[in-house]
A and B are shown apart, each in its own frame.
Chain A
Amino acid sequence: MSENNMKITLKVWRQRNNKAKGALETYKVDEVSSDMSFLEMFDVLNDKLIREGKDPIAFDHDCREGICGMCSMYINGQPHGPLQGVTTCQLHMRSFKDGDTIVVEPWRAKAFPVIKDLVVDRSAFDRIIAAGGFISVNTGNAQDANALPISKELADRAFAAAACIGCGACVAACKNSSAMLFVSAKVTQLSLLPQGEPERQSRVLDMAAQMDAEGFGSCTNTGACEAECPKGISVSNIAHMNREFFAAELNKK
């Protein structure tokens, strides 16, 4: 049964800019429908704030269908809220009760500085990808897709790793703000495929070096990243990346 008159109290992190000091502010949102997505509730609140001549709450969003990785709210102490395997945009108000108080904060990590309110700068991830999360391809016509045989098993494992949308929930959930799940997903994906073979060893070393340079913490195997990942990326990727790293480190000239 859908409900149309939920009353929700929100405690939202407001921060004017990167330099300003932020704080939680309390907002009441009435007439919330249980069918609304979490972001739609924010749209309603922002509409109200704009009508009142106040500054709307800045938050990241794009596709709103759980595939782009833009939305990034830390809801009631968990990245993307209480559900497993969903992004914030796919979280609906039916997961909450009438009268609930919900605390919403941005991702917290040194490598993810707050830009405004709930928006953080995740370009550290882009720089890690630029350091090695790619394959070099010659220009000209694309090769025939079937010219490179790949076993079904490897294709499946690579695809499971490639499902990462780079939202950063792993970093947000980790007590050490470690980016190992994100980096290992990309390293694993490309190391399993023939296209990734030429740059295989330099890739893992360069990406790991960039990850450290960005100020992410180290993995201490709590498993929080895997539990919170909206795409179900497994920590087995981290073990895989460690193997790749040791091999590359030993072979390094």
Chain B
Amino acid sequence: MMALTGLFLITFLIVHAGINAMIFFNDGGETFAHWAHFMGTNLIIRTMELVLVAGFVVHIVDALLITKHNKAARPVQYAYSNPNANSTWYSRSMGLLGTIILLFLIIHAAHFWIPNRYNQFTTGEELNLFTRMQDTFSHWYVVVIYVAGCFSLFWHLMQGFKTAFQTLGINHPKYNPLIKNVGIAFSVIISVLFASMPISMFFNLVH
């Protein structure tokens, strides 16, 4: 379930990053607003939004259950351990990275998603998300939080992308290098693209 929901959440990242990248057209957010309107009103997208929330919930709850199970599997800890000798720090820190991402996600949803949907329910009007982005990202500490969120997302994806395939049984000498390299490229592109949005808005590069 971790792998399946993880890959599903990865597809969401592609759509989310793609549409947000429309701000880089530098047309005062016109193209972005067009797509944001589509995402905010299309029935299929709005249905998928519920599936997405369910995807997050399953991913998080399953992670908590597995963590509890795995902690119980070693009641007495080693007095001295050298885990860096056999595994990467981020492969062992998926729970920590995921928690940071979740905290970021709550802040992020409070900035955009929740107020926008609230406004739609109460007044039927969508908010101007472009100007809202400009306002939100005019504060340096918000930019720092967002970049930190992207940093955690990068390391989470570096481990999560390739190992989702392993868990689903996809491990083949012919395709392993492809999965590994696409995973690295995906992690870099998604994280850098997302991080560049608050940064470029803060420095008024997007208008």
Contact = CB atoms under 8 A, between A and B. Distances in A.
A223 B73 contact: no
B43 interface: no
B69 A224 contact: no
A223 B69 CA distance: 19
Given A111-B73, A235-B171, A175 B92 contact: yes
B21 to A, nearest CB: 30
A220 B93 CA distance: 10
A178 B70 contact: yes
A221 B73 contact: no
Contacts of B170: 239
Given A221-B163, A222-B87, A240-B169, A105 B80 contact: yes
A110 B71 CA distance: 10
Contacts of A11: 79-80
Interface string A111-151: 10000000000000000000000000000000000000000
A227 B136 CA distance: 46
A41 to B, nearest CB: 18
Name the residue among A11, A109, A175, A242 with the largest chain B CB count within 10 angstroms.
A175
B178 to A, nearest CB: 15
Interface string B61-76: 0000010011011111
B167 A221 contact: yes
A173 interface: yes
B124 interface: no
Contacts of A24: 79
Interface string A1-28: 0000000000101000000000010000
Given A82-B85, A223-B91, A77 B70 contact: no
Nearest to A176: B70
Interface in B146-193: 159, 163, 166-171
Nearest to B2: A220
**Secondary structure at chain B's binding surface: helix, strand, loop or mixed?**
loop
B85 A177 contact: no
B86 interface: yes
B82 A78 contact: yes
A215 interface: yes
A56 interface: no
A77 B75 contact: no
A110 B87 contact: no
Nearest to B65: A218
A211 B111 CA distance: 45
A1 B72 CA distance: 47
B81 interface: yes
Contacts of B81: 77
Given A224-B87, A235-B171, A105 B78 contact: yes
A242 B81 CA distance: 29
Contacts of B142: none
Contacts of A217: 69-70, 72-74
A223 B91 CA distance: 8
B168 A176 contact: no
B86 A224 contact: yes
B82 A76 contact: yes
Contacts of A220: 66, 70, 91, 94, 163
B80 A227 contact: no
Given A108-B74, A227-B86, A103 B80 contact: yes
A240 B77 CA distance: 30
Contacts of B159: 221
A248 to B, nearest CB: 12
Interface in A211-239: 215-224, 227-228, 235-236, 238-239
14 contacts: A11-B79, A77-B85, A103-B80, A105-B78, A108-B77, A173-B86, A215-B73, A217-B73, A218-B70, A221-B91, A221-B159, A223-B88, A224-B87, A243-B169
